[in-house]
Structure 1
Amino acid sequence: MVKELNTTLASGRISKIHQPYAGELVLVIRANRHNYSLLLSANPTYPRIQITEVPYKNPNTPTKYAMTMRKYLEGAILESITQLDNDRVVMLSFDTRDELGDAQHLVLYVEIMARHSNLSLVNTKTNKIIDTIKHVSGDQNRYRLLLPGATFVMPPKQENKLNPFIANQAYADLVLKYSDKVELKSELQSVYQGMGSDTANYLAEKLLDSDNAPQTYQEFLYEFDHPTPTLTKLSNGKVSFTVYNPDINDEKITYPTLSTLLDGFYTEKSQLDRTRQVAGQLIQVITNLLKKDYTKIKKLNQTLEDTKKADQFRIKGEILTTYLHKIEPGMTEITLENFYDDNQPIKISLSNQLNGSQNAQKYFTKYQKLRNAVAHVDEQLAITNREVEYLESIQSQIELASPADTAEIKLELQQQGYLRDNSNKKKKVRVTLSKPEEYTATDGTLILVGKNNLQNERLTFKIANKDNIWLHVKDIPGSHVIIRDDNPSDETINEAANIAAYFSKARDSAHVPVDYLPVKRLKKPAGTNPGFVTFTGQTTIQVTPDSKSVNDLRTK
């Protein structure tokens, strides 16, 4: 990656700096007549350094760290990108000028170390930290301070480990000593810096199968200088990425650069993580509402079950009325003949505080109450089930949304009365609905996708023409998809159906049914939630969602 970034970005000038998310910095670098977005991520789950083409939305107010980076780095020339041996530390060296116009040399240290990941801007003349994206005090780390003004100290070195890219013979000694692949893999990781499990396993296998270890090792290093970025979908469902093309039969996708590989691997994972951070309140509100609705449905179904016993209360009331003369004061139960069941004995509970007539009336009252409850329970069940369906669709949309989409989902929940609008009425910020996402079919036809209910509603009833083709997964929450063509080809319909299935709750399923029909056949019942439609005369096809195909069709 360091070689790729150097080739692409070295000598470029920083034109813009953004911090769209906590722990992540984006440097827009103008190099070779092109603008590149360099992502520096200190996210504890997805730390990395790469050029990214994934769009991001900046906060309305830049963070203090972003402002500091702009002050010191905007307009700076990226002199070089280097790595600390084979450790997970990358140094970005910048030439710039201070406020007085004097030459200044700064280094941005990118430490890619899981939860210890960090970005530290350091003045090389004084070796003082200007700022870090994560402040680490002495209470958190006794080895070094990562605070503005502190002296920068490198992270601890991996003692007694070799840099695999510097000439050595350690691998040859290990091959002579170990003939078992598992043992050799473990020793390779112990001897060499920065050698991951998959890479060590790959090298161990090649060395053991080779008659010329030095040549094999050089071929191994060559693959890092001339990478074949590969994403592998393993048979156990896991996905991994490598610099080389592994010798396995699982499904593999190759990419032109390491950066596009990382975009392909991390985009969905990191976007979901970011969305969950931004939409934390929405997720909690919906989770609580659904929990209440599930409990309510359970109670209503129990009440409905109880209504089936209503006739038993009526029968007991009529039997008590018939045999009032047999009921004595203070009785708590009585056994009488059930003339509705061949005079079989029936035991009836009584209240010793009531006389016979009052006990009979009590059973009639229970009977009438349960009879009256049936219509109410049926109505409430229908209302609650509709609400559950709606909230589950919102829940699904959040899982598929980008962080930018959450503002519209929040607005919808406020409009539907599920969230309070606590914004200042005088300074109320109007939320402008974002445009539907655009995709281009293989034959050039435009395909539009709504990512939330407000977008779906606007796309279907405001943007689409009546003869355009509308698609949606069958009976499952998902996006509205519009083909901007009155008579699209079968290939375009299948590509749009794949997009509709991908942006639905059935994303990870196979053979997903997708309905399609002209927009003019859709109806919007009065009083229904945003995005709800009814229709007839649809055609249904089955597709298996494919993320690569969807990304390939995304309009650049």
Structure 2
Amino acid sequence: MSFDGLFTHAMVRELQGELQSGRVMKISQPYPYELMLSIRANRKTQTLLLSANPELARVQITTIPFANPKVPTPFTMAMRKYLAAATLTDIQQVGADRIIYFDFATRDELGDSVSLRLVVELMGRHSNVILVDQRTHKILELIRHVHPDENRFRILLPGAEYVDPPYQDKLDPFTAQPADYTPLVEQAGSDTGALAKAIQSRFQGFGRDAAVEMATRLQHGLPQAAWDGLIDAFNHPEPVLIDAQKPQFAATPLRTVDGDAHAYPTLSALLDAFYAQRAERARVQEVGSKLIRVLRTNTERLTKKLKKLQHTLDESDRADELRIRGEVLTTYLRDVPRGANSVELPNFYDDMRPIKIALAPELGPNQNAQKYFTRYQKLRKAVSHVHEQMAEAQAELEYLQGVQAMVEIAAPQDLVDIQTELTNAGYIRLQRKAKKQRQPKVAPPERFWASDGTAILVGKNNLQNEQLTLHSAAKDDVWLHAKDIPGSHVIVKSNDPSARTLTEAASLAAYFSKARQSANVPVDYIPVKRIRKPNGSKPGFVIYTGQRTLSVTPTTELVDKLRQQPTM
């Protein structure tokens, strides 16, 4: 089910019960289009996520950790200026639309009462989070500025008057009467698709999947009971994650989607489970776009370099042919006509058989011979270095591909270490102001727990891998890594782990590697004391001998399970 107006209705009711009358304790903007408000209400502090991400627009309470940027954005500073310590007085949905009003009461610098409204518009690529002064209706700040040439109906810039989105002349499904929808059922007959379209055209808030669900229920039951039953489900939701061919979240079990339904206590918990991987990938793309661009540029550069070196190597096989042509020309200089494009001469290296030699017509016979000798010498000299250059380029390419693989499996907070690594390696240039800044500390590895309670640590990038394996791990701990594949270093904090613990740790090593989507991934394991780092090698690169190997198939379910410390 999409985050349509019906789902928005259910979410607003949940937020009203959890956050209304709460106090804003902290404001963050960890990602470009996502605002986090830590709100203290009902004796607990919870994080309200307001996302205007074009692909993942939503509003919910989240427990997924996030990392704040070192420098707050102008939007963050404005939110802190106006909403710090404000009280959330009301949460309301506009009709059955995907627009939510968060009303706050606070005081200005003079101590006067101020009423502010945070408007969240969940409209795909037009999604936005807008702070409005309720007295003047002026926009104070918004997460996405929209200039007049982009939207002539509404100017969405600080200082402009806030104008509601275009009004949709549709009925509110929560106040609808049988006379509003019964004619649609009669007109559509048994055509579920036509009835679903008619419902969307007449009523506000229906996404396509919700409209199909309602149409199906109307056609297979008493219309009023069917309508009231589904609508009431959004007043008293039973959140489920449906494990179908295309996984879906829903505020209530759906009859039109086949698959196992997993229940969740709240809509917010449901969305955390559904969006955990999708949101992390999107956030990595947003935060790591610069890193991805740097890696792609350098990978393309090295690929082109390897092709040129291979071409040089292929050309070197012709070096002797160039030398022979030069020697034949030198021997028969008197027989070479001036201004010719080519000439045939006896080849004394091949039983005096004729050999056709290309010439530069603007050069004399001796100059053409010297040109062949020059090319011969150049190729011979190049060959002596080309193998070394190819080995260096190939090693650098494999290193960058390894870093790219770490970006693909990284959480947004892990990208800081990857940026530090690429900066130290010279792939990212520091600005003059940044050169004096202290180098940030390497983030700690992620901690997991085996079924028997043994701690398992996982590095999420090369700097974390090196810190974990070479500096933090005990010599008797067990080290694991996907065999011959870029990925995380995994440490089992035990000198004699059980077979089950080893298998679980190997699953983590396979999951946090480039082989995440593969089956039967080979994973090496060995005591940490046998790991060695060659002098001058890249961060995270180690060598070892005497390892054993397990084959595992990584799954998200097992990884999520190992994140939770077992109760002993």
After TM superposition, is the score higher than 0.5?
Answer: yes
C-alpha separation between the residues in 2 aligned to 1:350 and 1:45?
63
Whole-Å Cα distance in 2 between the matches of residues 204 and 284 of structure 1?
47
Shift of 1:460: 0.9
Q: Distance in 2 between matches of 1:151 and 1:338?
A: 89
Pairwise CA distance, 1:217 = 2.4
Show the counterpart of 1:502.
511
Aligned match for 1:114, one of 110, 124, 128 = 124
Pairing 1:3-18 to 2, within 5 Å after superposition: 3-18=13-28
Name the aligned partner's letter for residue 279 of structure 2.
S
Cα contact 2:32–2:286 (8 A) shared by 1: no
Question: Root-mean-square deviation (CA), in Å?
Answer: 2.9
User: Counterpart in 1 of 2:295?
Assistant: 286
Whether 1:38 aligns to 2:40 is no
Q: How does 1:216-227 map to 2 (within 5 A)?
A: 216-227=226-237
Q: Equivalents in 1 of 2:166, 2:358: separation in Å? A: 80
Distance 2:150 2:359 in 1: 70
1:190 to 196, 201, 226: 201
Give the match for residue 5 of structure 2: none
**Cα gap change, 1:183/1:149 in structure 2, threshold over 3 Å: closer, same or farther?**
same
Q: Which residue of 2 aligns with 1:242?
A: 250
The residue correspondences of 1:387-466 to structure 2 (distance < 5 A) are 387-424=396-433, 427-466=436-475
Q: Which amino acid aligns with 1:163?
A: D
Q: Distance in 1 between matches of 2:238 and 2:452?
A: 29
Deviations 1:222-274 (A, max 9, x none): 43234343344553xx4432223344444655433221222233333333333
Which string of whole-angstrom CA distances, capped at 9 and with x for unpartnered residues, describes residues 389-414 of structure 1?
Answer: 11112222223333333332222222
Number of aligned residues: 550
Partner deviation per Cα, 1:483-541 (whole Å, 9 max, x = no partner)? 21222233322332332233222333343332222222222111111111122233333
Distance verdict in 2 for CA 1:228–1:302, change over 3 Å:
farther
d(CA) in 1 for partners of 2:153 and 2:333? 93
**Amino acid paired to 2:38:** V
Q: How does 1:254-265 map to 2 (within 5 A)?
A: 254-265=263-274
Aligned residue in 2 for 1:530:
539
Which residue of 2 is the match for residue 215 of structure 1? 225
TM-score of the two chains, using structure 2 as the length reference: 0.87
Q: Indicate the residue corresponding to 1:349 in structure 2.
A: 358
User: Is 1:266 matched up with 2:262?
Assistant: no
Question: Quick one: distance in 1 between partners of 2:464 and 2:435?
Answer: 26
1:78 paired residue among 74, 88, 108: 88
Q: Distance in 2 between matches of 1:288 and 1:440?
A: 38
Deviations 1:108-160 (A, max 9, x none): 2221112322223334445444443334455544434444555443222211x
1:547 aligns with 2:562: no
Query: How many angstroms does 1:16 deviate by?
Result: 1.7
**Bigger shift: residues 310-319 or 481-490:** 310-319
Q: Does the CA contact (< 8 Å) of 2:31 and 2:286 recur in 1?
A: no
CA separation of 1:252/1:290 partners in 2, compared to 1, >3 Å: closer, same or farther? farther
Q: Which sections of structure 1, spanning at least 5 residues, go unmatched?
A: none
Contact 1:290 1:391 in 2 (8 A): yes
How far, CA to CA, are the matches of 1:83 and 1:22 in structure 2?
A: 24
The code of the aligned residue for 1:244 comes to T
Question: Distance between the aligned counterparts of 1:423 and 1:440, measured in 2?
Answer: 43
In structure 1, give the amino acid aligned to 2:51. S
Structure 2: any 5+ residue segments left out of the alignment? 1-10
SS of 1:424's partner is helix
% of aligned pairs identical? 49
Shift of 1:45: 2.9
Give the counterpart of 1:313 among 308, 322, 325.
322
Kindly indicate whether the alpha-carbon contact (under 8 Å) linking 1:438 and 1:555 is maintained by their aligned counterparts in 2. no
Q: Give the superposition deviation at 1:355.
A: 4.1
Match of 1:156 in 2: 166
- Secondary structure of the 2:175 match is coil
**Residue 219 of structure 2 is aligned to residue 176 of structure 1:** no
For 2:6, the equivalent position in structure 1 comes to none
1:326 shift after superposition: 7.0
Cα displacement (A) at 1:194: 1.4
Cα offset, 1:14, TM superposition: 1.9
Name 1:324's counterpart in structure 2: 332
